[in-house]
Structure 1
Amino acid sequence: MLSPAGLRTNVFPEGIGAAGDLAGTGKAPPAGFIQLDIVQALHTVLIELGADLDDLLTEADLDPRLFNGGHRLVSFTDIGRLIALAVDRTRCPHLGLLVGQRTTLASLGLLGLLMRSSDTVGDALRALEAHLCVQNRGAAVGLGVYDDIAVLNYAPHQPEAEGAAHHAERGLAMIANVLRALCGSDWAPLEALLPRPAPRDRVSYGSFFRAPVRFGAETAALVFPTELLSQRIAGADPAMRQRVEDHIRRLEAAEPSSLTDKLREYLQTAVTRQRCKAERAARLRLISRRTLSRRLRAEGTSFRRLANEAQFRVAKKLLANTGMSVTQISAALDFSELAAFTHAFRRWAGMSPSAWRQAHRPATTRDQRHEEPRPRGRDIGCSSTFAPGPAPS
């Protein structure tokens, strides 16, 4: 929509209730939108970095009232574009990390209360996976278990969009904070994975995650021992959990998603875990493969089409934001051989993966270029010192 001044703005005026839903509406955020917490955290970080907020909002073509403290929703893609621009202007490659570290369990509202009331860490993470949509309709969380290793990943629905890698970084920092709130402040993963080029200064990432950080990964994820999932949560309240979960389901019912939308969310996290199968998706939906196909056909699509769409989006992200070879990307997306991936990508993009990478990489690697001093407007230097956020709650 357009504001009176002609600027594009995807901000809704409804208030956000203390319980985590939209005050007065009883709904979860609509598709593609995220609740205000990220805007408030971004505002605080940019103030600390000395950024000119008015200039940033004007350059990003966003409503100048965005940071005025009103209770609103904001487009996930608009915030991604703003974060990418802010990274460039502040020369702060770990801006997404700084924003994400300010998210606590309490700031997740109803979802945070549901997780806090769960019996085990595994129950809490499955609640996050199932109900992230009450806070964030621009990304999905996926939990995978592989023998003695668990992988929890955070995947924006549009991984090729501007700022998506910074969104993923922010989301992963949020999940780390949530796990520390559930497991103790000393908790650390075995490894953190980020789908972005390695910045020159990696100290901030190691300081926050307290674990090896692998850049240029196929997804944003935290890796930890499977045994953590069975760890009991101190103060778990089954009765409270049931009440909150019932309320969350009512919120979700008030802003329903089509089967197509739900599968898009699932595939965004499944496509790089080699679980992109119609049979598995049908089991998760508790329906038969035939029923799944029939319902998707009624919505004008098919599982194959949605899977191809997810593979194309992730392929573009990996080509643009990582140093993975085309062969590695083909394997990550579960293609039987490189030729099959190359053929599919040509069908999707009209060019080979290598040609697409050559054409698009310069426009999507700002975080590698911004660290080199250069004259352009009002740049603000970013201290490499990592500033701890508030204690998880």
Structure 2
Amino acid sequence: MTKNSVPPSARVSPETPPPAPILAGPKRTLPPGSIHLGVSKEIAPTLREFGLDPAPLIRAAGLDPRLFDDGMSVIPFAALDRLYTLCVAGTNCPHFGLLVGQRTTILSLGMVGRLMLHSDTVGDALRALVANLSLQDRAVVPSLTISDGTALLTYATYQAEGTSAEQIRDAALGVTVNIMRTLCGSNWNPVEVLLPKAAPVDAEAYRRHFRAPARFNQETATLVFPARDLDLRVAGADPLLRALLEEQISQMRSSPGAELSDDLRRLLRTRLTSHRCSADEMAHLLSMHRRTLSRHLQGSGIGYRALTNEIRFEIARQLLEDTDVPLSQIAAALSYSEASAFTRAFRRWSGETPSTWRAERHAA
């Protein structure tokens, strides 16, 4: 199978998933640096579609192939990153992550997916995704914004320095299109899809799955669609089951295990390129006083400014390495008044100018 081939099973439109047990699922929040397999459980069957035995690649990434029998298996994000790198090399398919996402349904998101299925409207379902995905998946961080009648569902990679960040974002966008077609009907299409990666030689796989224009070299991974779709009712939603799921998720959030600094990093990853992110605003989003936030950060050994600069550096590296976005545009996205200010900051962080850093990575 060639690198631009799409396995037949990946081209099948998602069907409405069967009922699933409501009270099955994790009982605690995920530790930082870990994820449930969820969507990535489909890596194994995707490899088989290419005629490859997944077990050797999974072992080479440092994982037990038996973990892929259960989407609720918890694995280190670093191991998942290694696995995607091995899969792209083994299949010679640069859009392998998209094929994984295409195979996946809303139930791959576990309890969060079931809550979405029983939400009152599509908007409620997507807000549930944004609020709760970290219980299931800390590989990507979603955010939902509305502007001038247009909805933007954006994914940031939680650890942008990973070598397979673009594969993970492709998988997230792929499954999200399936989710929207489950909630809105199989004929649903986005207006366009934005991808923070250089344009591939052949983008047909993206156009075929999204059924919409795919725009590359963008600052974010974003699904763009009419805001009116948020008001659509979710067919078959059960208010009683929704209440049970909300209660269980609330109990999970109140259990020990979640670290405030980790939640703050998650927020910053989604907001630094589209919002002003003062410490006061972040404290408000975390439902605490600014001084309380400062005390927690001091206890973890990092200040707010240092943390925001760390996240800016992560985002800058991803955009420089994976896209051809101009430096002036990256500077503006990271809230620098001019490109020269961004260049000075990047030199402090890395010891190199962003132009030099990009040229070295592209050459490699």
Normalising by structure 1, we get a TM-score of: 0.81
The equivalent of 1:180 in structure 2 is 181
For 2:263 and 2:170, the matched residues in 1 are separated by 23
Q: 1:340 maps to what in 2?
A: 341
Q: How far did 1:317 drift?
A: 0.2
Q: Does 1:193 align with 2:165?
A: no
Cα distance, 1:144 vs. partner? Answer: 1.5
Cα displacement string for residues 299-325 of structure 1 (whole angstroms, at most 9, x for unaligned residues)? 332322221111100000000000111
Highest RCO, 1 vs 2 (Cα 8 Å, sep ≥ 6): 1
Amino acid at match of 2:267: Y
Per the alignment, residue 34 of structure 2 pairs with: 33
Could you tell me which of 7, 21, 25 is aligned with 2:25?
21
CA shift in 2, pair 1:67/1:260, >3 Å: closer
Change (3 A) 1:102 1:285: same
With over 3 angstroms needed to count, the CA separation of the structure-2 counterparts of 1:156 and 1:255, relative to structure 1, is farther
Answer yes or no: is the 8 Å Cα contact 1:144–1:151 preserved in 2: yes
Report the counterpart of residue 368 of structure 1 in structure 2: none
Could you list the structure 1 runs, at least 4 aligned residues long, displaced by more than 4 angstroms after superposition.
17-20
Matched, 1:297 2:301: no
Q: Which residue of 2 aligns with 1:105?
A: 106
2:12 is matched with: none
Residue equivalent to 1:78 = 79
After the TM superposition, which of the residue ranges 128-137 and 231-240 deviates more from structure 2? 231-240
Q: What amino acid sits opposite 1:313 in the alignment?
A: E
Q: Residue type of the partner of 2:98?
A: L
Give 1:210's aligned amino acid.
R
Q: Which amino acid aligns with 2:354?
A: P
User: Would you say 1:65 and 2:65 are equivalent positions?
Assistant: yes
Contact kept? 1:327, 1:338, Cα under 8 Å? yes
State the distance in 2 between where 1:254 and 1:176 align.
Answer: 32
- Deviation, 1:261, is 0.9
Distance in 2 (CA, whole Å) between partners of 1:280 and 1:254 is: 25
Please state whether the residue corresponding to 1:109 is helix, strand or coil: helix
SS state at 2:41 partner: helix
Asked if the contact 2:143–2:270 (Cα under 8 Å) also holds between the matched residues in 1, the reply is yes
Structure 2 residue aligned with 1:214 = 215
Q: Deviations over 1:118-163 (max 9, x none)?
A: 1111111111011102211222111122232221111121112110
CA deviation vs aligned residue, 1:279-333 (integer Å, no higher than 9, x gap):
3222212334344334333433232222111110000000000011111111121
Kindly report the root-mean-square deviation, in angstroms, between the aligned alpha carbons of the 2 structures: 2.1
Local SS of the residue matching 1:34: strand
> CA–CA distance in 2 between the matches of 1:307 and 1:20?
37
The 5 A counterparts of 1:142-181 are 142-181=143-182
> What SS is found at the alignment partner of 2:65?
coil
Q: Name which of structure 1's ranges 161-170 and 107-116 shifts more when overlaid on structure 2.
A: 107-116
SS at match of 1:232: coil
Give the C-alpha shift of residue 171 in structure 1: 0.7
Cα offsets for 1:176-233 (capped at 9, x unmatched): 1111111111111111111222211111100101111011211111011222222222
For the residue of structure 2 that corresponds to 1:145, the secondary structure is strand
Equivalent-residue separation in structure 1 for 2:310 and 2:45 (angstroms): 36
Contact map agreement 2:22 2:241 (CA 8 A) in 1: no
1:115 aligned residue: 116
Contact kept? 1:49, 1:90, Cα under 8 Å: yes
CA contact (8 A) 2:191 2:212 kept: yes
Q: Structure 1: which amino acid aligns with 2:203?
A: R
Equivalent position of 1:380 in the other structure = none
Identity of counterpart residues, as a percentage? 43
Q: Report what 2:127 is aligned to.
A: 126
| Residue of structure 1 equivalent to 2:10 | none
- Are the aligned partners of 2:61 and 2:79 in contact in 1 as well (CA < 8 Å)? no
2:271 partner amino acid: A
Runs of 5+ unmatched residues, structure 1 = 1-16, 364-393
Within 1, Cα distance between the matches of 2:30 and 2:209?
29
Deviations 1:63-100 (A, max 9, x none): 35356636632222211221122112211122111101
CA contact (8 A) 1:30 1:255 kept: no
Higher share of residues assigned helix: 2
Distance 2:280 2:320 in 1: 29
